[in-house]
Chains A and B, each alone.
Chain A
Amino acid sequence: MAAQPPARSRTDWRQPLLAYALIAPPIILVFALLLFPALQSFVRTLVDVPGSTGGISFARYQSFFENQISVNNLVFTIQMTVLSTIGLFIVCFPLALYLRFSNSRIAGWVQSIALFPLFVPGIMLSYALIRFLRPRGMLETFLNLFGAADGYETPYLKPLGIIIGLIWEGIPFTLLILTAGLRQVDNSLIESARDVGANTLQIFWRILLPLTARSALIAFCLNFIGNFASYTVPYLLGPAAPQMMGIFMQRTFQEFQRPQEAETQAVITFLMCLIVGLLYVYAVTRQRADQR
């Protein structure tokens, strides 16, 4: 790139050609390694069907939905994704509001600690939560300190373990996106609303929530997609059955050596996330259009 000095106002035909040449490599990578495999898998689930003589067949989807285990896993994945995403917003929205309106030293500490997991690898996070939540782990040790350890039931290896892990993993970037959205709300707007007699709740519902809806939508979409196909947290913190789709796909592909079934599972995962993915692209596109 050093060879490309800033072109001044040169707008002849060579510049677009050069630009296309420069952006081609990453664009080709995205198309070849994301869009093409996804589309190809989708087409193959309809066309490449064992025992079929050609034409479109839904037999692969049919056998997925006729299998009780796959259906259970899919339903379980949806449950875990929805619950952890809701939990994340319950945790993060009050924190983001607090960080938006307080600039005390305590707020600084809260922000530092809440953002810290951003720098923690997912697998280290799972390890830490295992040691924290498991029987006789650190949480039980704490509770024991206050004489409250009796009847401690560990969420480790239970569905709740997955939800806790996914929330923990999602806090930093959800908080980042929400606080960024709240910062865009002008202070003068809030003050003028208060001058004309709006109370805190009205300010929240009428001003803050509508103006941050887009950031919240982006955070929701990223969490939904990320959690839907997560692997590390459910594998290490969750139950052996039912399994989330990530584990299910990996086992079908590697342990049972059934790539075709894994492909069907993957395509079903895409289709489940498709609307949310489109919503995400739409939200970011609109956000950027507004900022310019």
Chain B
Amino acid sequence: MAEQSLPAALPAAAPARRSSGVTRFLRREGFGIVALVVLIVTIIGPLSTVFFWSFAEQWRYPALIPTEWGLSYWGETLSRADIRRALPTSIVLSIVVTLLSLVVCLPASYAFARMKFRGRQFFLLSFLITNAFPRFGIYIAIAIIFFRINLVGTFAGVVLIQLVNTLLLMIWIPTAAFQGVDRALEEAALDVGASRLRVFMQITLPMVMPALIAAVLLTFVGTFYETYGALLIGVPNVQTIPVIMFPLINNQPIPQPGAILSLVLFAPSLLLIIYANRLLRGGYLTAGFGV
């Protein structure tokens, strides 16, 4: 993930005269080494417990790793009735929300990038308010409305509430991408007689494709994790994986099911991690915050 193009220029890192190679290295990298060790213990440490517990038959204090390994909890956990219902619900919900978000947002982002109209900047910035409200509070307000129109406990209700979450990202990333396409290329193709549709399909679309893939991936994974909307609007009929995890994690004497479901929930993230470098370089990771 290291994509620094700028040279090291921290004044504090200026090497002392006549010091040996080791001390120079420590002076320059001392902070980095300490940070690395602390981060490994505090970030990799907790996350490793998820991995260990999901493959542990027995893990007694004070052993550093499980005392007995095995897969028996996997079958037991994944065959539970509530989980067998929740997994397809989560997947279908994420796919539906992502597709709907694409359909709703792509034409809009094309308009934001390419068309001239009054209030363009205002409307583009209005999507920021999805971040400016405390989410849990707004869901209570929505739940009260949905309750009156019988949307609580319905699939459609959960789709709507999760859709709102995806808008900022799905508008801003493609808008930036459409703006970044070189108009001269399109004009040149039009000049040699290509149809507008062909120009769009063969020039514009391929150039914005990486951004679209990034937006779709981030939306899908974000919706797959989404907890609050499903928790407040979905109950009791629409239960997603994160929602059924609460009772499995909270004060549970048997830790394995929680670990296994954590890994299941984490699985789509692997796609993001493979794509991480490109996400970082393209600035797509910060787009969801409006930056």
Tell me the A residues contacting B by CB distance below 8 Å. Answer: 1-8, 11, 15-16, 18-20, 22-23, 25-27, 29-30, 33-35, 37-38, 40-41, 94-95, 97-133, 136-142, 144-145, 149, 168, 173, 176-177, 180, 183, 187, 190-191, 194, 199-200, 203, 215, 218, 221-222, 225-226, 228-232, 235-236, 245-246, 249-250, 253-254, 259, 262-263, 265-267, 269-270, 272-273, 277-278, 280-281, 284-285, 287-288
Complex interface: chain B residues within 8 A of A122 (CB): 225, 227, 242
Which B residues from 175 to 207 make CB contacts under 8 A with A? 183, 186-187, 190, 195-197, 199-201, 204-205
Q: 21 interchain pairs (CB within 8 A)?
A: A5-B195, A7-B114, A15-B116, A22-B108, A23-B108, A29-B160, A34-B164, A101-B9, A106-B29, A107-B2, A112-B1, A138-B46, A138-B49, A141-B62, A200-B12, A253-B143, A265-B137, A266-B140, A273-B133, A277-B133, A288-B125
- Whether A246 contacts B136 by the Cβ 8 Å rule is yes
Q: Which residue of A lies closest to B105 (CB)?
A: A26
Say yes or no for B289: interface residue by CB 8 A criterion. Answer: yes
Bound form: Cα–Cα A277–B171 in Å? 20
Which of these binds chain A: B15-23, B72-80, B243-251? B243-251
Residues of B within 8 A of A (CB): 1-2, 4-13, 28-29, 31-33, 35-36, 39-50, 53, 61-64, 104-108, 110-112, 114-118, 120, 123, 125-138, 140-145, 147, 160-161, 163-164, 167, 171, 183, 186-187, 190, 195-197, 199-201, 204-205, 221, 224-225, 227-228, 231-232, 235, 242, 245-246, 249-250, 255, 258-259, 262-263, 265-266, 269, 272-273, 276, 280, 283, 285-286, 289-291
Which residue from chain A places its CB closest to the CB of B242 in the assembled complex?
Answer: A123
Q: Are A6 and B204 in contact (CB under 8 A)?
A: yes
| Chain B positions within 8 Å of A190 at CB level | 9, 11
Interchain CB contact under 8 A, B250 and A236: yes
**Would A34 and B115 count as touching, CB distance under 8 A?**
no
Q: Report the bound CA distance from A25 to B107 in whole Å.
A: 10
A290 to B25, CA, bound (A): 39
B129 and A229 form a contact (CB under 8 A): no
Smallest CB-CB separation from B194: which chain A residue? A5
CB-CB < 8 A to A259: which residues of B? 143-144, 147
- What distance in Å separates the Cβ of A41 from its nearest Cβ neighbour in chain B? 4
A236 to B245, alpha carbons, bound, how many Å? 11
A22 in complex: contacting residue of B110, B118, B167, CB < 8 Å: B110
Q: Which residues of B contact A29 (CB under 8 A)?
A: 104, 160, 163-164, 167
Cβ-defined contact, B130 with A30, below 8 A: yes
Instruction: Report the Cα distance A218→B287, complex, angstroms.
Output: 12
> Are the C-beta atoms of B35 and A131 separated by less than 8 Å?
no
User: Given the complex, which residues of B lie within 8 Å of A108, measured CB to CB?
Assistant: 1-2, 4
Known contacts A119-B272, A131-B49: does B104 contact A191 (CB below 8 Å)? no
Neighbouring A residues of B10 by C-beta, 8 Å? 97-98, 101-102, 200
Most buried by A among B33, B129, B171: B129
| CB-CB nearest in chain A for B31 | A98
Contacts known (A123-B262, A199-B11); A25 close to B249, Cβ less than 8 A: no
Given A112-B1, A113-B43, CB of A26 within 8 Å of CB of B50 = no
Task: Report, nearest first, the 9 A-B pairs whose CB atoms are least far apart.
Answer: A108-B2, A5-B196, A229-B134, A277-B132, A101-B10, A131-B49, A128-B46, A132-B46, A103-B4
Q: Say how far A161's CB is from chain B's closest CB, in angstroms.
A: 12
Cα–Cα, bound, A95→B31 (Å): 9
| A160 CB, min distance to chain B CBs, angstroms | 14
Name the residue of chain B whose CB is nearest to the CB of A44.
B144
Contacts of A132 in B (CB 8 A): 45-46, 49
Task: Compute how far the CA of A95 lies from the CA of B36 in the bound complex, rounded to whole angstroms.
Answer: 10
In angstroms, Cα B39 to Cα A110, docked, is 7
* B142 contact from A33, A117, A245, Cβ within 8 A: A33
Of the candidates B4, B48, B190, B197, the one having the most CB atoms from chain A within 10 angstroms of its own CB is B4
Which of A25, A127, A190, A229 counts the most chain B CB atoms within 10 A?
Answer: A127
User: Is there an interface contact between B35 and A98, defined as CB atoms closer than 8 Å?
Assistant: yes
With A119-B221, A131-B49 given, name 10 new contacts (CB 8 A): A19-B115, A97-B10, A108-B2, A120-B269, A123-B227, A124-B266, A142-B45, A142-B64, A221-B132, A250-B136
